[in-house]
Amino acid sequence: MSTVVITGASRGIGAATARALSADHDLVLVGRDADALRAVAGDCRSARVVTADLTTADGPALAAAGIASLDGLVHCAGIAELGRIADSSADQWRRSYEVNVVAVVELTRVLLPALRAASGHVVVVNSGAGHTAKAGWAAYAASKFAARAVTDALREEEPTLRVTSVHPGRVDTGMQRAIVAGEGREYDPRAFLRPESVATAIRQALEATDDAHPTEVVLRPRPH
């Protein structure tokens, strides 16, 4: 039975991914909300909860503790703080990079020996903003462009691993509701991808045949 670490597993895409993988994987669910993580773990066949803030000095080591061989690492944790450059603070940019880039890099680095031992697979949930930057989305898009650069570099540096960058369009999550509220629009969940749809794409990437390397997956909501 393969072992997979999932970050941001307490809600949204992370929780949906845990449930999508639970039947045939041993899971390590990482996040900051212990109660929410335990609720997700309760829906899984085999799941261990690790409460950790991956932006702290000891968070990545805590999440990686006791893992000697790792088949999959799925980075679902992320934040989206929007605003035009003229109105953005340096702290907003720092937070975007700390969560969306630095935490991804550091946890991956700490787990590289375990991933190498299993010829494992790293999946980073990126965004459509990792390809296209729009007005009001500069800090978020810049962090996602950087995350894509990380996956591209990691793929070349670690040829025994598979590295997949997943770029969904806007997804029906709590984060999305906050974004739409900030845009002053009415929320219609039908306009967005379901977290379960992104989780299915992640599972399919992880289960790709040995001869295949799914380097990038792009998903967009279908018009309704």
Task: Write the pLDDT tens digit of every residue in 43-73.
Answer: 999 999 999 999 999 999 999 999 999 999 9
Global pTM?
Answer: 0.95
Q: What are 98-134's pLDDT values in tens digits? A: 999 999 999 999 999 999 999 999 999 999 999 999 9
Compute the Cα dihedral for 41, 46, 49, 50 and give only its sign.
negative
User: Over 90: is that where the pLDDT of 180 sits?
Assistant: no
The reply to whether 20 falls in a domain is yes
The reply to whether 116 falls in a domain is yes
The DSSP code sequence of 194-213 is: -HHHHHHHHHHHHT--TT--
pLDDT band per the 50, 70, 90 thresholds, residue 177:
confident
The reply to whether 224 falls in a domain is no
E strand intervals along the chain: 2-7, 25-31, 47-51, 72-75, 121-125, 162-168, 216-219
Instruction: Count the neighbouring beta carbons within 10 Å of the beta carbon of residue 135.
Output: 8
User: Could you confirm whether 187 is annotated as catalytic?
Assistant: no
Q: Which of 55, 82, 122, 140 is catalytic?
A: 140
The reply to whether 19 falls in a domain is yes
Q: Which residues of 199-208 are buried (b: 16+ CB within 10 A; e: fewer)?
A: bebbbebbee
Q: Say what the pLDDT of residue 179 is.
A: 83
The CATH number for 152's domain is 3.40.50.720
CB 82 within 8 A of CB 140: yes
Number of domains in the chain: 1
Where in the sequence is the domain holding 80, given as residue range(s)?
2-219
pLDDT band per the 50, 70, 90 thresholds, residue 137:
very high
- The percent of residues in the chain predicted with pLDDT above 90, rounded, is 88
Q: Say what the pLDDT of residue 189 is.
A: 82
The reply to whether 183 falls in a domain is yes
